Amino acid sequence: MTDPKIPVTEDELHAYVDNELPAERRGDVEAWLAAHPDAAERVQAWRAMADELHARYDHIADEAVPKRLEIERLVQRPRKWVYGAVAATLAAFVCGGGVGWVARGATATPSAIESLTSDALDAHKLYVVEVRHPVEVPGSERDHLQTWLTKRCGWEVRAPKLDSSGLKLVGGRLLPGPTGPASFFMYESASGERYTLYSSRSKTGSAQMRYTAAENSGAMYWSEDEVSYVLSGPIDKEKLHHVARLVYDQTDKGG
C-alpha cells in the first residue's frame, strides 16, 4: 500500500493517462483528481488528445523501426515498418512535378531524395504517435534546443516560428541522418495535427522543392547550402506547401 498523502506528480498523471500507473497508486491518484478539478480537467484533455492520436496513427504505431533508425536510445518499443513506403516515396517523386520555387543550383539525384525522404518520413511516423515522449528537448527551451543541435549537427540549426499557420513548437531531438547527425523538430496544431521538420547535411547543392506522399503522410523536400530539409505532416499538399514556405523563408541563408 502507498501513502495517500504522498503528493501526486506530473509524471504520475501522465502515467495514469497512459494506463502505466501501478495499480496500488491508482486509487490515490483518482482521489487526488477528485479533489482537484483543474488537474482533472487537464488530465481529461490529455486523454482526449491521446485518443485522437491513437485513432489517427494506430495503423502505423505497431510497425517495426527501419534498421537505419534502430538505435537503442531512440527506440522505446518494437514496431513494424512498411518498407513499401520507400518505393512509394521514390515513385511519387519520379511521377510528380516540383512545386514552390525554381532551384538556384543542381537538383538532387533520385537516390539522395529516396534516402532522405524515407528517413524523414520514418522518423515522422515513429514520433507523431508519442504522447509522453515525442521530443528530447521541449519547445519552451527553443534557444537551448537550437544551440545544442547547431553544435551537434555542424550548421546553424533554426527552429522556425510557425505560429502564423497555427503550429506550436512541441520540441526537438537529435537523429541519425544519411551523412551524419540530423535535427528534428515537431510542431502541433490546436486540433492535434503534427508536423515534423527533419534536416541533414547533403551533397545535393540547391534543389527545387518537391512533394511526395507515403501511406497517410505527405512531405515537402528541398535543399539549400548543402543542408536538406523534409517537412512531413498530413497529406494535404496545399497546407504542407504553405508551411514549407514559412520554414524556407526562415532557414534560407541567402534570403
Q: Could you report the per-residue pLDDT of 145-199, keeping only the tens digit for each?
A: 999 999 999 999 999 999 999 999 999 999 988 888 999 999 999 989 999 999 9
Which amino acid, residue 45? Answer: A
Contact yes or no for 206/223 (Cβ under 8 A): yes
Residues ≥6 apart with Cβ < 8 Å to 84: none
Contact yes or no for 2/25 (Cβ under 8 A): yes
Which amino acid, residue 110? Answer: P
Q: 156 or 38: whose pLDDT is higher?
A: 156
Q: Which three cell numbers stand for residue 117?
A: 525522404
Average pLDDT over residues 220-240: 91
Domain ranges for the chain, please list them: 10-60, 88-251
Q: 58 or 188: whose pLDDT is higher?
A: 188
User: 241 exposed, middle or buried (CB, 10 Å; 0-12, 13-18, 19+)?
Assistant: middle
Of 175, 73, 77, which Cα lies nearest the Cα of 124? 175
Helix axes 23-35, 10-17, angle to 10 degrees: 110
Q: 2 or 75: whose pLDDT is higher?
A: 2
Average pLDDT over residues 206-218: 83
Q: 82 or 128: whose pLDDT is higher?
A: 128
Distance CA 33, CA 21 (A): 14
CA 214 to chain centre: 15
Q: Taking all residues of the chain, what is their mean pLDDT, rounded to a whole number?
A: 77
* Confidence bin at 32 (pLDDT 50/70/90): confident
Q: Which residue shows C-alpha cell 494506430?
A: 58
Which amino acid, residue 241? Answer: H
Q: 195 or 28: whose pLDDT is higher?
A: 195
pLDDT at 57: 60
- In this structure, CATH architecture of domain 88-251: 2-Layer Sandwich (3.30)
Q: Does residue 83 have a pLDDT over 60?
A: no
pLDDT at 22: 86
Q: 179 or 236: whose pLDDT is higher?
A: 236
Please provide residue 135's backbone torsions phi and psi, each rounded to the nearest 5 degrees: -140, 165
pLDDT at 62: 56
Lowest mean pLDDT among 32-36, 102-106, 249-253: 102-106
pLDDT at 13: 82
Q: Tens digits of per-residue pLDDT, 15-26?
A: 888 788 888 888
pLDDT at 246: 95
Strands of the 137-138 sheet, one edge to the other: 137-138, 167-176, 181-189, 194-201, 227-234, 217-224, 207-214
Contact yes or no for 219/230 (Cβ under 8 A): yes
Q: 136 or 225: whose pLDDT is higher?
A: 136
From residue 113, alpha-carbon distances to 12, 61, 118, 120, 210 in Å are: 42, 24, 8, 10, 10
Which amino acid, residue 35? Answer: A
Q: Does residue 41 have a pLDDT over 90?
A: no
Q: Which residues pair with 195 in a beta bridge?
A: 187
* Helices assigned H by DSSP within the chain: 10-17, 23-35, 37-61, 84-95, 110-127, 142-153, 237-251
Q: Tens digits of per-residue pLDDT, 128-147?
A: 998 888 999 999 999 999 99
Q: Which residue shows C-alpha cell 501501478?
A: 22
Q: What is the gyration radius of the CA atoms in the chain, in angstroms?
A: 20
Q: Does residue 252 have a pLDDT over 50?
A: yes
Most confident region among 15-24, 44-53, 192-201, 245-254 by mean pLDDT: 192-201
